[in-house]
Amino acid sequence: MILPMYGLIAALLVVGGLGTIVAVGDPDHARFAPYLGFICLFAGLGSLVFSLILTVVGEIAIHSEASTGASFFCWLCRRSRTGGLFGYWLAQRRRRT
């Protein structure tokens, strides 16, 4: 059950990384690349980092697999939204300059 979630995170990181490379490499012709790249990249990074950290903390503190899985899923959803909003903010700043 966890492997498809890691697949989604990996897809976000790959698409976001490629979109960011396009946005940085050709800023004149890349219209939507900053939005796609930055949002996907930071959504993937935010969800991966925070969900793994809090999963490890939950496993050490609580010693329960059910609570560890629930905390992983909750933080995956929360931090992917937060990372996506941060990526959108960065894309807006990049488009203004």
DSSP state of 12: H
pLDDT tens digits, 8-53: 888 888 888 888 888 788 777 667 777 888 888 888 888 888 777 7
The residue extents of the domains of the chain are 2-96
Q: Is the pLDDT of residue 93 over 80?
A: yes
CA torsion angle for 79, 84, 86, 87 (degrees, to 10)? 140
Model confidence at 79, pLDDT cuts 50, 70, 90, reads confident
| Nearest CA-CA partner of 79 in 49, 37, 39 | 49
Q: What average pLDDT score do residues 64-77 get?
A: 76
Average pLDDT over residues 47-71: 77
